Structure 1
Amino acid sequence: MARKKFSLLPIDRISITLIVIISILIGILLIQGDVVRASVRNFSWENQKVGADDTSFSMTFSRPMDAKSVENNLKIDPPLAGKYSWAGRRMVYTLLTPAPYGTNYKVQLQGAVDKFAKKQGKNLTLQPFSGAFRTRDRAILYIGATGEEQGRLVLQNLTQDQKTVLTPKDLAVMDFKPYPEGDKVLFSARAKTNQDLLSSKIYTVTTGFPSKPTEEAQPPSRVDLVLDSDGYQNLKFDLSPDGKTIVIQRGKKDSPGDFGLWFMSARKDSSEGTKLTRLESQPSGDFLITPDSKGVAVAQGEGAAILPIQKDGSKPLDFLPQFGLVQAFSKDGTQAAMVKFNRDFQNPTRSLFLVTNQGVNKELIKTTGTIIGCQFDTASPNLYCLITQLLPGDQFLEQPYFIAINLKTGQQKALLVLPAGQRNIQMSLAPDGLGLLFDQVVSLEGGAPTTSSLKTSSGETISGSSLWLMPLLPVADASNAAEIKPEQLPIAGFYPRWLP
């Protein structure tokens, strides 16, 4: 019987050909090893707008990387000093100082190699990566002093050179605190036709900035009432650093001796709503919410007490009998600038102390004048203060000046001496530590104030005011601080504050 001749169908020939080709390619890959290049899978600041609170960014790679090759090849333009840390395929770059505001940054990485390729002696580099981010705009808030802006809260975007009047014409703003996200401002104001400085109500107003980079900003100038003045006088308020709590010092109108601290939620979407709760404690004076937002430092009796923000504040968390006032806290809460009133009736003085959570009480300055204000710098170990010195002579006249104190070395440097006799000066340190904002108020001399006249917190009528910006050089250039000259801004306003 004849054997049948075996023949392949066309589809069989195609299949066998493909199998052979694929086998050859697999063999080539096995011989050459892994040739897939590593890449950056995630850059946490990609196209983000970051602020002073954003202290680090991360990069996640598709493969474990050789750390040194990444660190040697990462380029940030303009440069930002920082330090590296690693956790597997994730690298974190922590900034040593906040990134300067109003700046666009590029991040590039090329030439880095993955960990295993280097061990095998292969020159397999990372796929080139390029990313970008920017910092928040440099923006300030102030109370207008003239014209249509008089008594109104104004936002000046220095980066974009844009001005926005936030509050309506019929309100005279007394005090304000920006929310940490920069999307809103908490402020107290009275009707312009009412000259009673204790008739103020508390409001919020939107700035036009988004609360988060991923959220859409609300339109600016939307005002909401937070707390009215029915039956009470709102004397002073503070907003917690986390933007969640408001503490208000209130006095009962029909009972002059009945005043104390109250607290409430700073956000309408909170489960607490707008519930106002009195903090049961001893009578207290000036106060400041602590950096952790859980306590409030108050002048109480002959000392300073730290009270918990809760209904029962009768048991202080801490009490410092030797100090009468807390001027400022460092951002992490480990340091405080506190004022001691020295008991010398012949020559009364005030001392500024650095107090730490490690038990250090160090006197920094003693003055015959007033310690108006201090702020810790987040970009350096410096404490910036506005202080006055009583001038010799029969006339009571104080000389105000700015001073920078290096808390590590103890070195002190006078930055600027202001004209003698100036009062009601306000200062504000930029969130990136590169500028000090202050005002120079001109009080009304002669003539009767009108019902719409502006007044300082001490009751003096304001006839005008100018804003000044003093650049602060980076820490590395501190030796040139004497060359710093303040610049007068083309703004007629007072009580300036930087937007976070």
Structure 2
Amino acid sequence: MISTNNLREPIDKICFFLIAIFSFIIVLLISSTKFCYEGKCLFNNNPEVKEFSWQDKKIGSIDKAFYLVFDRPMSHESVEANLRIEPSLEGKISWSGKRLVYTLERVIPYGRNYRLSLQKAQEKFRGKEELGAEIEPFIAEFQSRDRAFAYIGSQGEESGRLILNNSTKQNKTILTPENLTVVDFKFTKNSEKIIFSAVNEDNDNADFKQVDIYEVTTGLSNDLTPKIPGELKLILNGKEYQNNQFDLAGENQEIIIVQRIKHNDPLDFALWKIAPNKVPEKLDTEGGDFTITPDGKGIAIAQGEGIAILPIESENQEKIINFLPKYGQVLTFSNDGSSAAMINFNKDNSELRYTRSLFYVNNQGVEKELINIKGSIIDCKFNDNGNQLFCLLTELMQTETELIEKPYFVAIDIQSGKIIPLVALPKYQDIKISVAPDGLGILFDQLITENDLPKKALKNLPTNEDLLTNSAELIVGSRLWLLTLPTSESPQAKLEELPISGFKPQWSP
């Protein structure tokens, strides 16, 4: 027979053990004692940062703000007084409950490492004036995107090839093989790929030069994960159609819009939509030069005597979102898509005939003439805030034998209309400009063509016959220049020639 005392003895031991454990936990809670392992503490009564949205990320021009989430209500004043960002980033703080939002006043400078820290901030009890415990010290790191740009090489083994110059890493990468001569290219929004058109020199076709469209990885990363450059993929061949101008559309620029002409039928001239994993689709759209709206949903295209804004989705292509009858060309949109810079060629105004006008147009119905000149308006780009335009213009000069266009850069303040001269250039020919996403400066090229050199020099110079200007002149060389834009610290623009032979430079986004 088993004694009940023998059964009760193990149960008593378990009870005493559990009582001891719970008593120990209660003592810990009362005394606020902490057990910590790898930075995480048990029974911690101090407030903490639960989430930081830019933790270990790469930040670019599209990133306007970050947020911090706390595990309990905090004293706003103590947090704002003790929040540190190194190097400093000017911004404004707003609150929503336990969430702090920090909105940058300007685009984050590229190519830097940043450190955010917060300590000595205190919790705030509802309905009480006194503050509570200090926050657990918080430290986090993040980076801005690499400062980099791509261009088409014009000399030696780089001739006709796509080159990426990473100023942050101080290296240069040839992205395309020798058999491809690049015609044009565009970065995707996340900078990890470039879409480009190129002539494949291995295609043996005596009737025409076949222009295909490809994508290639840049090696740039939108996060901290390493990426491999130079991975090539054919997207659209040019066997049946000549592929001309193209642009990137869609929310993530996953769609390519291409202007195509059929080789054996020049009247078959239209825009096509190339979407991932879908058959190329011919759009019911006619017109000339076009550009994609910043939201990626519309096409701004010259039609008749004006500019039409058309939706990209095929079921809505006949519906015009907007039509601007007096403009002949869209130069650029602001980053948020709320405004645009457009050209009026002044054909019908007898007083202004043979001149060009630059207009600022926004979605509030404002149409404002900024300049009127007898020369050319080559290109303009908005700054990040959309309150300033940087433009490449030309002045028409009459000599004894010919008319010459002298190029020069200006900055235009949209609100006041003030025109600020930046720098004059000695020569204009197919100059392409690109404004850095963080506002550092403007990249542009200076072409050297066959007409710029003596015939003797041209004979001894190795050239790529597919490197041509818009007027079909053979490009035998090109230099890249950087115009550093004025800042509050350095109010004068600075022009610097880069030790690079190339053309059509583009900053990565």
Does TM, scored on the shorter chain, surpass 0.5? yes
Q: Partners of 1:209 and 1:14 in 2: how far apart?
A: 59
Structure 1 position 240, deviation (Å):
2.1
Other-structure match for 1:444: 450
Give the direction of change, closer, same or farther, for the CA distance of 1:54–1:196 in structure 2 (3 Å limit).
Answer: farther
Please give the per-residue CA displacement for 1:11-62, whole angstroms capped at 9, x wherever unaligned: 8999999998888877777xxxx98211112212112111111111111112
Residue 245 (1) aligns with residue 252 (2)? no
Give the direction of change, closer, same or farther, for the CA distance of 1:435–1:22 in structure 2 (3 Å limit).
Answer: closer
Q: Partners of 1:175 and 1:94 in 2: how far apart?
A: 36
Give the direction of change, closer, same or farther, for the CA distance of 1:161–1:16 in structure 2 (3 Å limit).
Answer: closer
One-letter amino acid matched to 1:207: T
Give the direction of change, closer, same or farther, for the CA distance of 1:15–1:484 in structure 2 (3 Å limit).
Answer: closer
Structure 1 position 365, deviation (Å):
1.0
Other-structure match for 1:404: 411
Q: Partners of 1:256 and 1:472 in 2: how far apart?
A: 44
Structure 1 position 199, deviation (Å):
2.9
Q: Partners of 1:405 and 1:18 in 2: how far apart?
A: 73
Residue 105 (1) aligns with residue 114 (2)? yes
Q: Is the 8 A contact 1:174 1:188 kept in 2?
A: yes
Other-structure match for 1:303: 306
Question: Normalising by structure 1, what TM-score?
Answer: 0.88
Q: Partners of 1:253 and 1:18 in 2: how far apart?
A: 85
Residue 208 of structure 1, aligned match among 219, 234, 241: 219
Q: How does 1:261-340 map to 2 (within 5 A)?
A: 261-265=271-275, 267=276, 273-281=277-285, 283-311=286-314, 313-340=317-344
Please give the per-residue CA displacement for 1:167-186, whole angstroms capped at 9, x wherever unaligned: 11111111000111111110
What is the count of residue pairs matched by the alignment?
A: 475
One-letter amino acid matched to 2:210: S
One-letter amino acid matched to 2:84: K
Partner-residue secondary structure (3-state), 1:168: coil
Please give the per-residue CA displacement for 1:294-316, whole angstroms capped at 9, x wherever unaligned: 11000111111111113363332
One-letter amino acid matched to 1:200: V
Q: Is the 8 A contact 2:210 2:239 kept in 1?
A: no
Residue 166 (1) aligns with residue 179 (2)? no
Other-structure match for 1:460: 473
Residue 391 of structure 2, aligned match among 385, 389, 392: 385
Segment of structure 1 superposing worse, 235-244 or 74-83:
235-244
Q: Partners of 2:110 and 2:71 in 1: how far apart?
A: 32
Give the direction of change, closer, same or farther, for the CA distance of 1:280–1:26 in structure 2 (3 Å limit).
Answer: closer
Q: Partners of 2:304 and 2:313 in 1: how far apart?
A: 20
Residue 77 of structure 2, aligned match among 68, 86, 91: 68
Q: Partners of 1:172 and 1:398 in 2: how far apart?
A: 30
Other-structure match for 2:505: 496
Q: Partners of 1:425 and 1:27 in 2: how far apart?
A: 73
Q: How does 1:3-14 map to 2 (within 5 A)?
A: none
Other-structure match for 1:414: 421
Q: Partners of 1:232 and 1:18 in 2: how far apart?
A: 79
Q: Is the 8 A contact 1:371 1:386 kept in 2?
A: yes
Q: Partners of 1:496 and 1:196 in 2: how far apart?
A: 31
Partner-residue secondary structure (3-state), 2:133: coil
Q: Is the 8 A contact 2:110 2:147 kept in 1?
A: yes
Q: Is the 8 A contact 1:202 1:226 kept in 2?
A: yes
Q: Partners of 1:286 and 1:84 in 2: how far apart?
A: 43
Q: Partners of 2:366 and 2:437 in 1: how far apart?
A: 26
Q: Partners of 1:334 and 1:275 in 2: how far apart?
A: 33
Other-structure match for 2:62: 53
Partner-residue secondary structure (3-state), 1:119: coil
Residue 254 of structure 1, aligned match among 264, 274, 284: 264
Q: Partners of 2:72 and 2:216 in 1: how far apart?
A: 48
Residue 471 (1) aligns with residue 480 (2)? no
Give the direction of change, closer, same or farther, for the CA distance of 1:198–1:316 in structure 2 (3 Å limit).
Answer: farther
Over the matched positions of the two proteins, sequence identity in percent amounts to: 44
Segment of structure 1 superposing worse, 359-368 or 404-413:
404-413
Q: Which ranges of structure 1 fall in alignment gaps of 5 or more residues? A: 1-9, 268-272
Q: Is the 8 A contact 1:96 1:379 kept in 2?
A: no
Other-structure match for 2:358: 352
Q: Which ranges of structure 2 fall in alignment gaps of 5 or more residues? A: 1-11, 33-42
Q: Partners of 2:282 and 2:195 in 1: how far apart?
A: 20
Give the direction of change, closer, same or farther, for the CA distance of 1:145–1:195 in structure 2 (3 Å limit).
Answer: farther
Residue 128 of structure 1, aligned match among 137, 146, 167: 137
One-letter amino acid matched to 2:61: A
Residue 221 of structure 1, aligned match among 202, 209, 230: 230
Give the direction of change, closer, same or farther, for the CA distance of 1:402–1:62 in structure 2 (3 Å limit).
Answer: same
Please give the per-residue CA displacement for 1:227-268, whole angstroms capped at 9, x wherever unaligned: 111221112111127312111111111122321111111x4x
Partner-residue secondary structure (3-state), 1:68: helix
Partner-residue secondary structure (3-state), 2:125: helix
Q: RMSD of the TM alignment (CA)? A: 2.9
